[in-house]
Amino acid sequence: MQRSTEPCTLRGRLFRPNAASYRAASITLQPGGSLLLDDGETTRDLPPGSLRWSSRMGETARRATLPDGFVFETDDNDHVDTLERTFGRRSVGLWHRLENLGAPLLALAVLGVLGFFIGLRWTVPWFADAASRLVPQAVEARLGGAAMDTLDSVALHPSELPAKKQRAILAVFDELSSHADTKSGTLKLAFRRGDKLVGANAIALLGGQIIVTDELADLAQTPDALAGVLAHEIAHVELRHGIRRLARVAGLSAVVMLMTGDLSSMTHDMGVLGAGLFDLGYSRGFERDADARGAALMRQANRDPETLAVLLEKLSERSASGGPSWLSSHPRTEERVQWIREGR
């Protein structure tokens, strides 16, 4: 069926392929929807709908590449929009749409976007935390077991700590665990060698499995000096930080997908980056909470939280030398040490 169209003419410049020189030319939309290119020397028909125009950015010139490689450029944005509507495409850019909103509507749009992200910052965590409370302990344990298997296969190695030192660390761990508000048998301690990839580290997995690397035990020198890190990791399990963080990341990912499902890959990448920044804030908040609860566990066990502050300073020196460290995803060491020593 033939389109009903009104004639319109685009006046502009025609560039040869890969050339800076041009000559005046025009493209006319004729009755019935056909296109006629006239460069002053020749005229030729263009296949209807064959032009792909650059997006509109204010009143800057628009370009379209012709089937033969020539480029047509015009300042007549309104007639380009007419052509786009005629052939069922719109290339009006976001910037032009914002320009046409007017100041009041633009301000309202900005406030709406700000309101959305402010809501995202608090609403997603609230719903995610509520959802995480519904996850059975058995499911957490299975997830933690799968994570342990993965770490064992790609990053960790069997421990080489002497059995006597392992037993001494386990005794401290059991003492601290007895004061934790977790189900009986939930907390378990495993020793692994981290080597260069993991280094001096302690990791709390879903379900209550905690890993301490040989390198961290050696850095602490004594089991008592390691008590602060053990208390910190026990606090992560007690506060269910693992499943809560997983739920929050899943919630943020779902929001990003809804927001950017049909947009360009660049927009999608920006959305994912935003999700990562939000998640960084969540993880640091969890670390502060684990410091507070860990210090409380140490006091309940009649231990001095100062041992954690001392070990943090040792880890900070090691991290500054370039080695992997337990501090890599934590808030600034100076802030944590001051916070622990002030007993806040």
SS3 16: coil
321 pLDDT more than 90: no
Least confident interval from 157-171, 183-197, 321-335: 321-335
Which pLDDT does position 95 carry in this prediction?
Answer: 53
CA separation for the pair 152, 163 (Å, rounded): 20
Which pLDDT does position 260 carry in this prediction?
Answer: 54
Topology of domain 8-99, CATH? PH-domain like (2.30.29)
Between these two residues, 255 and 37, which has the higher pLDDT value? 37
How would you label 83-100 residue by residue, b for 16+ Cβ within 10 Å and e otherwise?
A: bbebbeeebbbeebeeee
Which pLDDT does position 265 carry in this prediction?
Answer: 46
How would you label 207-228 residue by residue, b for 16+ Cβ within 10 Å and e otherwise?
A: bbbbbbbbbbbebbeebebbbb
Q: What is the mean pLDDT of residues 277-291?
A: 71
Which pLDDT does position 202 carry in this prediction?
Answer: 92
CA separation for the pair 344, 227 (Å, rounded): 19
Question: If you average pLDDT over every residue of the chain, what do you get?
Answer: 79
pLDDT tens track for 106-159:
677 678 777 777 767 778 788 888 988 898 888 988 999 999 999 999 899 999
pLDDT tens track for 200-217:
889 999 999 999 999 999
| Residue ranges covered by each domain of the chain | 8-99, 131-342
Between these two residues, 178 and 323, which has the higher pLDDT value? 178
pLDDT tens track for 80-115:
887 777 776 544 455 555 555 566 666 776 787 777
CA separation for the pair 29, 86 (Å, rounded): 10
Distances (CA, A) of 122 to 113, 158, 248: 15, 41, 11
Between these two residues, 40 and 269, which has the higher pLDDT value? 40
